[in-house]
Amino acid sequence: MTVAVAVSGGVDSLLALQLLKGQSSEVLALHARFLEPEGPERRMEGRLAGICRDLGVELVTVDLIDEFRGLVIEPFVRSYVKGETPNPCALCNARIKFGVLLELAETMGAGSLATGHYAVSCLDTAKRPALWRGHDDGKEQSYFLSLLRSDQLSRACFPLGRWRKQDAVETVQRSGLSVPARGESQEVCFIRDGDYRGFLQDQCSDLPGPGAIVDSLGRRLGQHSGLQNYTLGQRRGLGIAHSEPLYVLDKRSRENELVVGPRRELAADSFSVRELSLLLPSAEWPDTVFVQTTYRQRPRGVRVFPDPSGTRLQAVFDQPHTPATPGQVAAFYSPDGRVLGAGLIEAPGDRDCGASFPEP
């Protein structure tokens, strides 16, 4: 059975391609264009084609610019308009790489799609697809893959799951490959200059404008430049002179208000999750569950209370914690690193979960 390998031109995807080719697998290289290529991207594509020829692997380049805009960029902008802070990389993996691209790979005769992610996929004891943390603690990327459905995971392949990043780099260097893409890939790859505020303004004419900065009692302290320019827990850049440091506590999109307060008011007891995708039925989750609400965050212990619909839940921290940022991904793990499920963090008051939860 043919394995399609998504190749970006970077170290990780090229090593995944080499490893699978070396295992005598029938391999097809797929390079997806998510943005209209500029000069550097076109030169990189040319070098990538040469590498694939040298490896004896067919390279197919597919144009997914429209799909990427509709499934990643536009939801990214809409999320910011709502006052959220989205995670486009996780959406891209679920909707584009293991959505559109996987479907295209299957039309080309591939039975699975491999990527250079540092995560482990395998079957559990019940022969169900399971996703686990990668073995390199400093690089593992299961968080970005946590929104995948079981049917997608069953056709996913991650050859680097048990590798360390440094070993991967050294292996590619020893092989003599000249890696065409330089540096690490960026999470927001479609904002080439890194100016996401300018990008949002170019993409959307109805972004929230300036509004009041208030404290938790509603007292006006100043004016913000637009809710999309702030995130929960942010301290710097508020432009307020105060007797003690202030942090962003909440973004009230309906009132266009930014709520700030001292650090002692920052702690949260719980958060809600929408669009929940389960890789293991919630009834089988262990008693001890950990959650990660950003990529670099240390996992925190939580109690979870799923909605009967199976698409929402409330998570209650074992100990008060900084607020989970609406729009970000909440990935739930077992103590030994298995991804149990994930969803999008919901802003307080967006919608009732439809279930009765205990008081935190």
Task: Name the token pair of 241.
Answer: 């002179």
**pLDDT at position 356 over 60:** no
189: annotated active-site residue: yes
Q: Are residues 168 and 104 in the same domain?
A: yes
Same domain (yes/no): 272, 261: no
Clarify whether residues 250 and 275 are in a common domain. Answer: no
Question: At a CB cut-off of 8 Å and minimum separation 6, what does 134 contact?
Answer: 117, 118, 119, 120, 140, 141, 142, 158, 160, 161, 162, 163
Query: Measured between alpha carbons, how far is 310 from 283 in angstroms, rounded to an integer?
Result: 10
pLDDT of residue 158: 98
CB under 8 A, 24+ apart: contacts of 19-24 = 19/159, 19/160, 20/114, 20/157, 20/159, 21/55, 21/56, 21/57
**Which is catalytic among the residues 52, 122, 157, 189?**
189
Q: Is residue 357 part of a domain?
A: no
DSSP per residue, 101-168: IHHHHHHTTEEEEE---SEEEEE-TTS-EEEEE-S-TTT--HHHHTT--HHHHTTEE-TTTT--HHHH
Mean pLDDT computed over 232-240 = 90
Q: Based on the domain organization, do 51 and 127 belong to the same domain?
A: yes
| CA distances to 180, 186, 199, 242, 259 from 193, in Å | 20, 11, 9, 33, 30
Q: Are residues 140 and 244 in the same domain?
A: no
CATH code, domain carrying 226:
2.30.30.280
- Burial annotation 104-115 (CB, 10 A radius, 16+ → b, else e): bbeeeebebbbb
- Structural domain includes residue 251: yes
Structure token pair of residue 250: 């909440």
Interval 168-202: pLDDT, tens: 999 999 988 888 876 666 668 888 778 888 888 88
Same domain, 36 and 166: yes
Please indicate, yes or no, if residue 71 is contained in any of the structural domains: yes
What is the largest distance, in Å, between two alpha-carbon atoms of the chain? 68
Query: 52, 89, 92, 157: which is the annotated catalytic residue?
Result: 92
| Contact in structure between 70 and 100 (CB atoms under 8 Å) | no
Six-digit token string for 43: 């030169």
pLDDT for residue 357: 31
Is 193 part of a structural domain of the chain?
Answer: no
Distance CA 329, CA 216 (A): 26
Tens digit of each residue's pLDDT (9 = 90 or more) over 27-54: 999 999 999 988 888 999 999 999 999 9
Closest by CA position to 269, among listed 336, 229, 319, 330? 319
Query: Percent of the chain at pLDDT above 90?
Result: 71
Alpha helices in the chain (DSSP H): 11-22, 39-55, 65-68, 74-81, 88-92, 102-107, 142-145, 150-153, 165-175, 196-203
Per the structure, the count of domains in the chain is 3
- Note down the domain range covering 258: 208-265
Residue 228 shares a structural domain with residue 330: no
Q: Looking at the domain assignment, is residue 308 inside a domain?
A: yes
21 lies in the same domain as 88: yes
Is residue 130 domain-shared with residue 243, that is, in the same domain? Answer: no
Q: Are residues 320 and 235 in the same domain?
A: no
Do 260 and 272 fall within a single domain? no
- Which amino acid, 46? G
Under 8 Å between Cβ of 232 and 249: yes
pLDDT tens for 82-139 read 888 999 999 999 999 999 999 999 999 999 999 999 999 999 999 999 999 999 999 9
pLDDT beyond 60 at 274: yes
Reported confidence tier of residue 13, pLDDT bands at 50, 70, 90: very high
CATH number of the domain at 286, please.
2.40.30.10
What the block records as the tokens of 352 is 């009732």
**CATH number, position 107:** 3.40.50.620
**Co-location of 164 and 22 in the same domain:** yes
Q: For residue 94, what are the contacts with CB-CB under 8 A and spacing of at least 6?
A: 147, 148, 149, 152, 277
